Amino acid sequence: MSHKQEKSEDRFAFGKNWKDYLDTQFNDIALAAAKKAITRFVGEDGLKGKTVVDVGCGSGIHSLAMLELGAASVLSVDIDTDSVDCSEHLRGKSPFTDTWQVKKVSLLSKEEMAAIGTFDMVYCWGVAHHTGEMYKAFDHLVDAVAPEGQLYIAIYNKVDGLFGSAHWHKIKKFYVRSAKPVKKIMEWGYVSYHFSRLLIRFKNPFTVMKSFYKKRGMSWKHDFIDWLGGFPYEYASLEQMFDYFCTKKGMKIENVKTTNYIGNNQLLLRK
């Protein structure tokens, strides 16, 4: 699925959301959850001694997690200035200032991506589908993988039907174009919908919110705002991802985690 490149004013301010996350929600429990999520997918020693680039680093929490898991070095890159600031803030407080770099880089710029070089592990979780030119982003990610290196990527699943991916594309575009009061109404409406669903299933919404840290170390509040506002928004089915990365680019699948609906499909691929 590909849409024409969106205007800059139609882009969600991801970095501002992650700045608030660092200020209000980030802690050692969140970091431990991020580390656990990564090791579940790449293995306990999957990052040890490896050079890593975290493309679309956001809050910087996963860059820090990968260094704590034994990565030889991590380069955090993002086009969003606030996200770059977030990662630089975490870097400055960490014991990894010598092995952790942070740069402002556009995934869509062939020149900027070529300039950072190649890596043993290219980590791009939930980012390429927010660029507005997803397949160009895929090209540049594959180019950044060193020979015999790996790509760990997560992309929104393509879901057909009335409330599928195309439906969410319209909602997200409307959200980012709306005035702040309208955004607040949409946020509260979305929260109310999820609270109602949990109550109908006899689940305590507040317990679910508190346990959300177990999912990659993210907070429930910041994750749902990221989902509701996450635009540009593209998506691909597993078949489309296999066709691109395996058939077209010749990469080998080493691990897959599928979503049960409209979330992210995760792939670990070997060049």
Q: How many residues does the chain have?
A: 271
Secondary structure of residue 190 in the 3-state scheme: helix
pLDDT value of residue 266: 97
Residues 78-121 pLDDT 10s: 999 999 999 999 999 999 999 999 999 999 999 999 999 999 99
Domain 8-159+231-270 CATH (choose: 3.40.50.150, 1.20.140.10, 3.40.630.30, 3.50.50.60): 3.40.50.150
Q: Which residues of the chain have pLDDT under 70?
A: 1-9, 205-206, 208-222
Q: Is the dihedral of CA 245, 13, 230, 61 positive or negative?
A: positive
Torsion of CA 251, 253, 255, 259, to 10 degrees: 90
Tally Cβ neighbours within 10 Å of residue 166.
15
| Per-domain residue ranges of the chain | 8-159+231-270
* pLDDT the model gives residue 52: 98
H-type helices in the chain, by residue range?
14-24, 28-42, 61-68, 81-93, 110-116, 134-143, 165-177, 180-200, 205-210, 220-229, 238-242
